[in-house]
Amino acid sequence: MRLLEFQAKRLLAQCGVSTPESILVRSQEDLKDISSFPVLLKAQVPVGGRGKAGGIRIATQMKEASQIVEELLNANIKSYPIQAVLAEEKVETTKELYLSVLIDSLTGVPLIMTSSAGGADIEEVAKENPEKITQKHLNSCTYPSDYVIRYLAKYTKLENKLEDFKRIIRQVYNAFQKYEAQMVEINPLALTPDGFVALDAKILLDDKAAYRHRDLVEKLQGEQKQLAKTNKTTAEQLAEKRGITYVTLGGDIGMISDGAGTGMLTLDLIYDAGGQPANFCELGGLAGAESMEQALEVVNKNTQVKVILIGLIGGLTRMDDVAEGILNYLKQYRHSKPLIIRMCGTGEEIGKAKLNEAGIEPFVDLEMAVHMAVQQASKGTSWQS
* Every domain of the chain and the residues it spans: 21-89, 95-226, 234-379
Nearest to 185 by CA among 120, 265, 90, 249: 120
- What's the pLDDT at 37? 93
The answer to whether residues 211 and 180 touch, using CB atoms and an 8 Å cutoff, is no
- What's the pLDDT at 242? 84
Q: Going by DSSP bridges, is the β-strand pair 195-198/253-257 parallel, antiparallel, or unpaired?
A: unpaired
- What's the pLDDT at 250? 80
Which regions of the chain are under pLDDT 70?
A: 228-231, 285-286, 380-385
Rounded to an integer, what distance in angstroms lies between the CA atom of residue 363 and that of residue 375? 15
Residues in the chain: 385
- What's the pLDDT at 231? 59
Encoded amino acid at 68, one letter? I
* Cis preceding linkage at 110, omega within 30: no
Nearest to 223 by CA among 51, 86, 319, 129: 86
pLDDT tens digits for 8-51? 999 999 999 999 999 999 989 999 999 899 999 999 998 888 88
Beginning with the edge strand found earlier in the chain, give each strand of the sheet holding 56-59 in spatial order. Answer: 22-25, 85-89, 39-43, 56-59
Domain 21-89 in this protein, CATH class: alpha beta
CA 368 to chain centre: 27
Q: At what angle do helices 162-178 and 146-155 cross, to 10 degrees?
A: 120
In this structure, how many other beta carbons lie within 10 angstroms of the beta carbon of residue 36?
8
DSSP line for 173-208 = HHHHHHTTEEEEEEEEEEEETTEEEESSEEEEE-GG
Sequence-distant (≥ 6) Cβ neighbours of residue 331 within 8 angstroms: none
Rounded to an integer, what distance in angstroms lies between the CA atom of residue 230 and that of residue 28? 19
The answer to whether residues 147 and 131 touch, using CB atoms and an 8 Å cutoff, is no
Rounded to an integer, what distance in angstroms lies between the CA atom of residue 272 and that of residue 266? 10
Architecture of domain 234-379: 3-Layer(aba) Sandwich (3.40)
pLDDT tens digits for 270-325? 999 999 999 999 887 667 899 999 999 999 988 889 999 999 887 778 899 999 99
- What's the pLDDT at 68? 96
Encoded amino acid at 369, one letter? A
- What's the pLDDT at 93? 93
Same CATH topology for 21-89 and 95-226?
A: no
DSSP line for 348-381 = HHHHHHHHHHTT---BS-HHHHHHHHHHHHHHT-
The CATH fold assigned to 95-226 is D-amino Acid Aminotransferase; Chain A, domain 1 (3.30.470)
Classify 367 in phi/psi space as left (phi over 0), alpha (psi -120 to 50) or beta.
Answer: alpha
Rounded to an integer, what distance in angstroms lies between the CA atom of residue 313 and that of residue 223? 42
